[in-house]
Chain A
Amino acid sequence: MDKHTGMTPIVKMITEVLCGLMLVFGAFIVLYGHITPGGGFPGGVMIALVYILITLAYGRVIVERKVSGIIASVVDDIGALIFWSVGMIGLFVGGSYLFNFLGKGSPFHILSAGTIIINNIAITLKVGMCLYAIFLALAILQRVVIDEPKEEEE
């Protein structure tokens, strides 16, 4: 346990302050993706970066109590399901897959452009949790390589 408690208190304090701001900025990038530059892809990577920052600062064991790998893969699948079901609803309502079936709204408002905002959120969940899960897997592997390099020989 003492090996994985992370970095110095300075880094932990700065992480504590920064994490909320980064999450808010990621959510802003996603939700305003159809009005200002941004969208699901950069917002998802930024939300993954928040969890990776916590992992680097506090160690793997602490962060896996909050969001474990299995939760990450479930959220990832939920994102894919949202995207797929938006497409299927469009198929039944409008006659073509991924049809934009919601109202267009007035421009420059957050509730405009129909299904784009839902799809942005779905892509955010998918990209963010995918990258976080792959980082967890890489971190675990690194620990095993350093601690017991001889175990792989058979």
Chain B
Amino acid sequence: METIIILHIILVFMIIGSLITVEIRNMLSAVISVGAVGFALSLAFLFLDAPDIAITQVIVEILSLVILIRATIKVDNVAIEKREHILSDRTALIFVGMILVFAWFAFQSLPTFGEPSMRVSQYYLMNGLREVGATNFVTSVILDYRAYDTLGEAMVLFTSISGAFVILRRWKKEQDKDFLRIDREH
């Protein structure tokens, strides 16, 4: 019972943090408050009995904060004063409200909180120790039962990183500043 109350508190904190992120003027403060939301999320994972994901979320959050601060620091640091068209603002709010109303009906058909329907996972839990031998069942799902998924997701990571490289690549006169040639340069 205490776990559920703590989860409510953490979720309210996350909602407040993301509202600050959306509405604050200074971009550096926005980035830092989204970092606070991420750390609160890792705390929530810890209370939901998922220590693997809590570790991953903390470490990934640090790295994404570094990347986002790298992007926003030293360029113009203030949000844009002018707003979107007033119509688009209100349309977005109406749209979001409709989504929330329909989501409330959709949640009625989900399994109740705290009683998951574990049809596939029951097999993994029963046979995991005998068939794989790993005592961390999350790892045995990632790298044995569903290793093909992991291979595909590694490819997705590779694709996004190569897309970033293509975008960041220097052309023509800037080519000699490319980091692939830095060894010859220095």
Contact = CB atoms under 8 A, between A and B. Distances in A.
- The answer on direct contact between A and B (beta carbons under 8 Å) is yes
Interface of A: 29, 33-42, 45-46, 48-49, 52, 56, 61, 64-65, 68-70, 76, 80, 83-84, 87, 97-98, 100, 104-108, 112-116, 119-120, 123, 126-127, 130-131, 133-142, 144-146, 151
Contacts of A87: 147, 151
B180 A97 contact: no
Contacts of A36: 136
Contact of A97 (B51, B60, B67, B148): B148
A148 to B, nearest CB: 9
Given A33-B136, A113-B132, A116-B143, A136 B63 contact: no
Contact of B75 (A38, A56, A145): A145
A83 B3 CA distance: 39
Chain A interface main SS type: helix
Given A42-B59, A100-B144, A107-B135, 6 more contacts: A35-B134, A39-B52, A114-B133, A131-B161, A137-B164, A140-B168
B168 A116 contact: no
The size bracket of the interface on B is 35 or more
A102 B144 CA distance: 12
Interface in B133-155: 133-136, 138-140, 142-144, 147-148, 150-151, 154
A80 B132 CA distance: 22
A116 B55 contact: no
Contacts of B147: 87, 98, 119
Given A46-B59, A68-B179, A138-B67, A37 B174 contact: no
Contact of B59 (A40, A49, A69, A130): A49
